[in-house]
A and B are shown apart, each in its own frame.
Chain A
Amino acid sequence: MTRLLTFLAIGLMSLMLFITTSGLPMLFDPNSPAATHVSPRYIEKSREETGSPNFVTAVLADYRGYDTLGETTVIFTAGIAAVLLLRAARKHSDCLPGGDEE
């Protein structure tokens, strides 16, 4: 019974997602809102507004600088978490199965 309900819920959810996806603009569609609104601005104005001849850098570091700050913070947090976990595993290696053999 529970399994049937699970499959039903998954099916319903997938159906909803597929229906919404079909409403999105096509990839590489020149008339999509992203291509008619933001892209021309980047292509025409990024050289004079940011001083960078490279669109990618202009978008990454200037127009979307806040996003890149988040990216950097994610890398920093992931590094800290990995180091903390690895150090804790080494310190309490007797708690791990087979960790105290050395």
Chain B
Amino acid sequence: MNRKFGTIILDTAFRYLVPFILVFGMYVLMHGEYSPGGGFQAGALFGIAVVLGRLIQGEEAMLNISGNTAIILAGIGTFIYGFIGVLTMLFNGNFLEYGAFPLNMAEADRHALGILGIEIGVTICVMATIIAIFDALTRREEW
């Protein structure tokens, strides 16, 4: 990030804020099982980090996800969730019965892994949806 953009205040604030937002988002996602938080909140944080970049740097932001990519990502996120549900059915479990994963670990750990998997799907979906709506609202050129 060598290029200058905006004013010095926006420049500095952006460079200090965004890494912390991303790290906090990752913490909320990974720690969602133990503390309040989880996929929806982490997705909102990641989405805000990208939206902040778009607000300050515009279309050619360093940390950018275009509107079309965001829609595809939102679909992928929802698909991950549903796919984990179907995956447990393939291993002779019920839909979203995480204990059915044939992994060599305790029942509770398998559940924790499954919860983390669906939380990642939710995070991607929420993040991409926020970016897609923001992109559609602020886009300049004609479609």
Contacts and interface: CB of A to CB of B under 8 A. Distances in A.
Interface of A: 47-54, 56-57, 60-62, 65-66, 68-69, 72-73, 75-76, 78-80, 82-83, 86-87, 90-91
B96 interface: yes
A16 B94 CA distance: 40
B27 to A, nearest CB: 15
A50 B129 contact: no
A50 B106 CA distance: 10
Contacts, number: 106
Interface residues of B, number: 44
Given A51-B109, A65-B96, A66-B95, 17 more contacts: A49-B108, A49-B111, A50-B112, A50-B115, A51-B107, A51-B112, A52-B33, A54-B34, A60-B38, A62-B115, A68-B118, A72-B125, A76-B77, A79-B128, A83-B133, A90-B139, A91-B142
Interface of B: 32-36, 38, 67, 71, 74-75, 77-78, 81-82, 85, 95-96, 98, 106-112, 114-115, 118-119, 121-122, 125-126, 128-130, 132-133, 135-137, 139, 142-143
Nearest to B32: A57
B143 A56 contact: no
Contacts of B67: 83
Contacts of A61: 38, 115, 118-119
